[in-house]
Amino acid sequence: MKRIDEILCGVKTTAIAGHVRPDGDCTGSCMGLYLYLKENYPQIQVDVYLEEVRPEYDHISKIDQAKCICDEEKKYDLLIILDASSKDRVGVAASLLDTAAKTVCIDHHVTNLGYCMVNHVSDKASSSCEVLFDLLDEEKISSDCAAALYTGIVTDTGVFQYSCTSPHTMRVAAKLMEMGIPFSKIIDRAFFQKTYEQNQLMGRTLMESIMILDKRCIIGIVRQRELDFYGLTPGDMDGIVNQLKNTKGVHVALFLYELKPQVFKVSMRSDELVDVSSIAAVYGGGGHVRAAGCTMTGSPYDVINNISLYIEKQLLSHEGKNA
């Protein structure tokens, strides 16, 4: 018996939910599970909650059925949360954590401490889609479900580039390809394609970026007024921090964007020298060793001064020096 059958045993109603500002892995895993349950368990009534669906994930079947407002009165037998590493990251369906009879988390974040009744967390997996795939019965995965799961794997691995990509990831992706998905289109739509305005903001952010710590750390900053000027939202800036990190000689990229005056979301990317998840955790955030984030208050300079101390400490310890 596949573990999904154990999870669903005796369940009549299920809610599926992801995290705030859902990315490709969150959207792909929530929709992949939704499609799988719809197609194979017609006796179970299932709802999927996703805060806002980004246009780059439009190719996912039945994405228009995702609910962005939670029915708090509804009592579910089971709540399955995907890709959310902590309670405070759970998006629109957070209230269901207190009312659902059983809660299950499927995730791959090293900072996940297990906040559900049952937790399937594998920090070695590339993505929550990969963890989910391993819980499902391969024979029952349709091409629509496969396309959703492939979307999450592609986006969380940077198209199979980041170090979270393993031989197992490639085997899972190969199996999904064999299910007849339009993989080139998915990669282009979900990862590479940007609007003209997104590219303009990326270009401007790179042009105005600054280097610190002997050019080993690069920083990009976007203020709310710039987002407003281009008519963009925070979700439109995916990819900027990775492009900053592509700078030769840089070990850490920091990308700050203003959520409101004196409040910044900080995205961090690193290579093998620096563990950014531990730095994000100091400020109440989390994520992965090489990709993490947190929210901080103060001016951009306060944020940079605070975080750069931790980065410098880790870089110096690699050189055998104490900060």
Binding site for Mn ion (CB under 5 A): 25, 83, 127-128, 156
Nearer to ligand 5GP, 115 or 133 (CB): 115
Stretch that binds ligand 5GP, among 84-92, 147-155, 157-165, 175-183 (CB under 6 A): 84-92
Q: Please report whether residue 293 would count as binding ligand 5GP according to CB under 6 A.
A: yes
* Neighbour count for residue 231 (Cβ, 10 Å): 9
Name residues contacting ligand 5GP, limited to 111-150 (CB under 6 A). Answer: 111
* Neighbour count for residue 244 (Cβ, 10 Å): 23
Stretch that binds ligand 5GP, among 47-55, 165-173, 279-287, 302-310 (CB under 6 A): 279-287
Q: Please report whether residue 220 would count as binding ligand 5GP according to CB under 6 A.
A: no
Residue 286's binding partner among Mn ion, ligand 5GP, none (Cβ under 5 to 8 angstroms by kind) is: ligand 5GP
Q: Please report whether residue 287 would count as binding ligand 5GP according to CB under 6 A.
A: yes
How far apart CA 105 and CA 131 sit, in angstroms, is 11
Nearer to Mn ion, 29 or 243 (CB): 29
**Of 104, 154, 158, which is closest to residue 130 (Cα–Cα)?**
154
List 173, 294, 303, 315, residue binding ligand 5GP (CB under 6 A)? 294
How far apart CA 266 and CA 7 sit, in angstroms, is 35
In the β-sheet with 118-121, what is the strand arrangement from edge to edge?
A: 45-49, 13-17, 78-82, 102-107, 118-121
What six digits make up the tokens of 45?
A: 């009534």
What six digits make up the tokens of 121?
A: 């967390």
List 158, 286, 300, 303, residue binding ligand 5GP (CB under 6 A)? 286
What six digits make up the tokens of 217?
A: 């750390």
Q: DSSP characters for 86-125?
A: SGGGB-TTTTHHHH-SEEEEEE--TT----SSEEEE-TTS
Name residues contacting ligand 5GP, limited to 244-273 (CB under 6 A). Answer: 267
Residue 287's binding partner among Mn ion, ligand 5GP, none (Cβ under 5 to 8 angstroms by kind) is: ligand 5GP
Q: Could you give the C-alpha distances from 243 to 202, 224, 238, 258, 289, in angstroms and in order?
A: 8, 20, 10, 19, 18
What six digits make up the tokens of 290?
A: 């090489």
What six digits make up the tokens of 181?
A: 């998905």
Residue 292's binding partner among Mn ion, ligand 5GP, none (Cβ under 5 to 8 angstroms by kind) is: ligand 5GP
In sequence order, which residues have a C-beta less than 8 Å from that of residue 117 and are 6 or more positions away?
102, 103, 104
Q: Please report whether residue 28 would count as binding ligand 5GP according to CB under 6 A.
A: no
Q: Please report whether residue 32 would count as binding ligand 5GP according to CB under 6 A.
A: no
Nearer to ligand 5GP, 113 or 211 (CB): 113
Q: Please report whether residue 86 would count as binding ligand 5GP according to CB under 6 A.
A: yes
Q: Which residues are registered as beta bridge partners of 221?
A: 256
List 163, 195, 295, 306, residue binding ligand 5GP (CB under 6 A)? 295
- If phi > 0 it is left, if psi is from -120 to 50 it is alpha, else beta; for residue 158 that is left
Q: Please report whether residue 291 would count as binding ligand 5GP according to CB under 6 A.
A: yes
Nearer to Mn ion, 128 or 169 (CB): 128
Question: Which chain residues interact with ligand 5GP by CB under 6 A?
Answer: 85-86, 89, 109, 111, 241, 267, 285-288, 291-295
